[in-house]
Amino acid sequence: AHHPFASTRPSLRGIQPAFVSRDGVPRSAVATVNSGELRGGQLGGIDWALIFYFAGWYLGNYYYTLNNKLCLKAAGGATGFPVTIGFLQMLIGSLYGLYLWVAPDARPLPSVTPTDLISILPVAACAAGAHLSSIFSMNLGAVSFSQIVKAAEPAFAALLGVTLYGKPISKAKWLCLIPVIGGVCLASVKELDFSVAALFAACVANIFAAFRSNENKKLMETPGLKTRIGSTGNQFAISTLLGTLSLFPFFLLFEASRFGKFIELFKTVPAVRNNLITSGLYFYLYNELSTLTIAKTSATTQSVANTAKRVIVIVGVAIALGESLEPIKMLGCSIGIGGVLLYSLVK
């Protein structure tokens, strides 16, 4: 079996050409498309730009999940530095977003007001909360198990929508939640690394993600806000910057006192250093590419794409990390993800 720490740079070879320019500087997916390499979008009836977005989204998500777990393990696992790693990943993304604003011809600055930033802050804080909770879940248990629980996000979104936002849910959608919840329960039965804390953290991540989704819909209805933000890329960059600021107090409270020890690990353990930097960049890039994909596709396509992505990430990462793929776990995973797909498709 391949040891997870045998290579500390499992990711750069995989997709470097798509995101790295000739001088070795990472570029935004937006900058790549706008630079003319994919201009025109469709060639011979094929939308190459959309294929690029999909490939980058899937690969970026896979490598982020893998590198994130490798970094957490190398930094001490359950007794390590999950808050520091989550905060620094978002800080790396923020620095990358700022770089794109100052770099010539990369991305125009948004014209948002201080009031706009205050209204965006709750959405950004929820996104940061979902990110940090996911890291806790992956740190405390198997990545595949965490991803299966996170697939049940629609159940949390439906519950919050009905109770707090007054959004009615059709009977068909409610029925689709039965296989979602049942599948997660079935997958948990044979989970060798089962941890109540990992399950709880994944559920908290789902709650934050559900709040972010509902709040974002309300936010985007603000008159003129889309125009002032300017682009999908700008929206994600602003959200990442504000999310990083939201995590800073938690970093100070929980792990800042041990930051010297983390710096020593960063300097002396390549698995920490390489996987932290690459996971931070992949996290930013795959999220930006997923938003660009959503902007170019229908709701049905998004649902199918999201389902396929979850399966690829769950199975791919489990194989790469040598995690259990018990038949009952895979059956539960299939039922749960199938339920999510149905939920997304039915009216």
Q: What is the pLDDT of residues 295-343, one digit of tens each?
A: 788 767 777 787 788 888 888 999 999 988 889 888 999 999 898 888 8
Residue 189 has pLDDT above 60, yes or no: yes
Q: Smallest Cα–Cα separation from 313: which of 327, 297, 296, 333?
A: 333
Tokens representing 125? 């804080």
Q: What is the C-alpha to C-alpha distance for residues 247 and 32, in angstroms, rounded to an integer?
A: 30
SS3 assignment, position 20? strand
pTM, two decimals, is 0.83
For residue 195, is pLDDT > 60?
yes
Backbone dihedral angles phi then psi of residue 20, each to the nearest 5 degrees: -115, 130
Spatial contact of 56 and 19, defined as CB atoms under 8 Å apart:
yes
- The pLDDT tens digits for 83-118 are 999 999 999 999 999 999 999 888 999 999 999 999
For position 43, what pLDDT does the model report? 60
DSSP letters, 150-178, are HTTHHHHHHHHHHHTS-----HHHHHHHH
Phi, psi of 26 (to 5 degrees): -60, 145
Number of other residues whose CB lies within 10 A of the CB of residue 249: 10
In this prediction, residue 5 carries a pLDDT of 46
Averaged pLDDT for residues 32-49: 56
Contacts of 159 (CB under 8 A, 6+ apart): 210
| Mean pLDDT, rounded, for 45-55 | 86
User: How far apart are alpha carbons 28 and 46 in whole angstroms?
Assistant: 22
| The pLDDT of residue 76 | 95
Q: Residues 166-171: contacts with CB within 8 Å, 24+ apart?
A: 167/214, 170/346, 170/347
The 10s digit of each residue's pLDDT in 259-271 is: 999 999 999 999 9
Q: What is the pLDDT of residues 201-221, one digit of tens each?
A: 999 999 999 899 888 888 888
